Amino acid sequence: KGIINKPMFRKAIRSQRCLVIADAFVEGTTEKKMSDPYLVYRGGQKRPFAMAGIWDEWIDNKTGETTKSFAIITTAPTPLMQAIPHHRSPLVLTQEDEKKWISNNLTLNEVTEMLYPFDDTGFNAYPISTDIKSARNKYADLLKPTGERLRKEYDYIFYQDLKLQGMGETTARKQSQKENQNNQLDLFDNEVI
């Protein structure tokens, strides 16, 4: 909540809020920083997600060049961020709060009420290569796990067209019975009277 009182962010938090869209983010431990990086992501089909942000722009008096920037709002750590361990957590918004966050009608009190750790259910993290520290490195393997995930994950495949049978009955058995019945009907069709 210090962002409300800091002169540097005072204007942005009141009227220059934005959404920072991502599939994942990289965070280091509090102690070792990016010498111990983790990729934090939302599992399943719930990607991308939005983090609360603020934006600003300023003009360099010497060059006249306009610089645009943004920052991601952080809060106290969620349980997952504590497990990394990291002392802060980005503010991930629910879909309902996304619309609210970028509304110009939000009062400062309403903004303040949103500055709490998000429910990190469904999120996970795993360690990645320290090569992520260099902006020159752009290969896809940077995001591959170098260790275990912090939370256990299970891969489930859901089928929408399952055919459940009673106890002792299987689809194959039902199909076999149906074929036998059709074959018996064929015998009667072919019989000459």
Q: What is the pLDDT of residues 1-16, one digit of tens each?
A: 577 777 677 778 888 9
Task: Summarize the confidence of residues 141-154 as an average pLDDT.
Answer: 90
- How does 63-101 read in b/e, with b if 16+ C-beta sit within 10 Å? eeeeeeeebbbbbebbebbeebebebbbbbbeeebbebb
What does the domain layout of the chain look like in residue ranges?
2-143
Task: Please tell me the predicted confidence (pLDDT) of residue 58.
Answer: 87
Proportion of the chain in helix, strand, coil states, percent, rounded to 5: 30, 25, 45
Phi, psi of 171 (to 5 degrees): -60, -40
Please name the amino acid found at residue 69.
Answer: S
Q: What is the pLDDT of residues 76-123, one digit of tens each?
A: 999 999 999 999 999 999 999 999 999 989 998 999 999 999 999 999
Closest Cα partner for 28 from 133, 185, 158? Answer: 133
Decide if pLDDT at 75 tops 60.
yes
Task: Please tell me the predicted confidence (pLDDT) of residue 193.
Answer: 45
Q: Which CATH code of 3.90.1680.10, 3.40.50.300, 3.40.50.1100, 3.50.50.60 fits the domain covering 2-143? A: 3.90.1680.10
Q: What is the pLDDT of residues 151-166, one digit of tens each?
A: 988 765 555 555 555 5
Six token digits for residue 42: 């939302």
**Residues contacting 132, CB < 8 A, separation 6+:** 26, 34, 37, 142, 143
How high does pLDDT run on average in the chain?
83
Please name the amino acid found at residue 103.
Answer: S
